[in-house]
Amino acid sequence: MIEMQDIWKTYADGTHALCGVSVLIERNEFVYLVGPSGAGKSTFMKLIYREEIPTKGQISVNGFNIGKLKPRKIPYVRRNIGVIFQDFRLLPKMTAYENVAFAMEVIEAPRRIIKKRTMEVLELVGLKEKFNSLPAQLSGGEQQRVAIARAIVNSPAVIVADEPTGNLDPETSWGIMNLLEEINFRGTTIVMATHNREIVNRLRKRVIAIESGTIARDEARGEYGYEA
């Protein structure tokens, strides 16, 4: 599903963010990425959704060699990857419904399918009744649910979540985790960067620890492993 072979990423200013990372993440896995601030977690994820390309090495996602993708193939690959951020990144002037539907409009899905599927995912995240609310009228947890609905609406093979609970209180965070587990259970691979020790230690999954741009630890049902 996701394979990195000897991946190096050096930014334009000379910062070495990843240094020789090799990893295989199988279909349907749920992986936590942990590690100190600045270790390279976001870079790891940006390479998966092709926000960045590797300086060296090969990365394939869902069968595509995405470091060497022809520009016209990029939208096709992106629709197979849903992305969730700590700060939600909803469009402020669009309702919950419009934020989700927009992701389908971009890939030119037929109109009647858009309506049905958008309401279906809003129901899945528990926000059917709030479909007409603007982001500012929703709580942080609700906004993150809209962002999750948007990420899954095109049925991606992979979800990449960069600290999805980082801006939420503990109780709301557990709700978001339940939702991500449900999405994973339905067959989506999830890679989630997090600093939340309690979540990692309670909802045990594979843990990949990145330190100074390299994989320091990779354990099935691992622990967070850093002091809070």
Ligand X SMILES: Nc1ncnc2c1ncn2[C@@H]1O[C@H](COP(=O)(O)OP(=O)(O)OP(=O)(O)O)[C@@H](O)[C@H]1O
Other Cβ atoms within 10 Å of 204 Cβ, number? 14
Q: Please, are residues 16 and 29 in contact by the beta-carbon 8 Å criterion? A: no
Return the axis-axis angle of helices 140-152 and 111-124, rounded to nearest 10°: 140
User: Considering CB under 6 A, how many residues would be counted as binding ligand X?
Assistant: 12
- Residue 201 binds to ligand X (criterion: CB under 6 A): no
Beta-carbon-side half-sphere exposure of residue 206 (alpha carbons within 13 Å): 14
Piece in contact with ligand X (CB under 6 A), picked from 12-20, 22-30, 140-148, 183-191? 12-20
> What is the length of the chain?
228
Q: Select the residue interacting with ligand X from 21, 43, 161, 190 (CB under 6 A).
A: 43
CA distances from 191 to 11, 31, 152, 222 (A): 22, 5, 14, 14
Q: Select the residue interacting with ligand X from 39, 121, 125, 192 (CB under 6 A).
A: 39
Q: Give the span between the Cα atoms of 165 and 154, in whole angstroms.
A: 22
Q: Select the residue interacting with ligand X from 27, 38, 123, 155 (CB under 6 A).
A: 38
State the nearest-atom distance from the C-beta of 199 to ligand X, in Å. 15
State the nearest-atom distance from the C-beta of 37 to ligand X, in Å. 3
- Residue 11 binds to ligand X (criterion: CB under 6 A): yes
Q: Select the residue interacting with ligand X from 4, 25, 32, 42 (CB under 6 A).
A: 42
Q: Select the residue interacting with ligand X from 31, 32, 41, 148 (CB under 6 A).
A: 41
State the nearest-atom distance from the C-beta of 86 to ligand X, in Å. 9
Q: Give the span between the Cα atoms of 84 and 211, in whole angstroms.
A: 22
Piece in contact with ligand X (CB under 6 A), picked from 35-43, 67-75, 109-117, 139-147? 35-43
Q: Give the span between the Cα atoms of 149 and 205, in whole angstroms.
A: 23
Q: Please, are residues 48 and 191 in contact by the beta-carbon 8 Å criterion? A: yes
Helix or strand (DSSP H, E) at 218 = strand 214-219
- Residue 17 binds to ligand X (criterion: CB under 6 A): yes
- Residue 171 binds to ligand X (criterion: CB under 6 A): no
- Contacting positions for ligand X (CB under 6 A): 11, 13, 15, 17, 35, 37-43
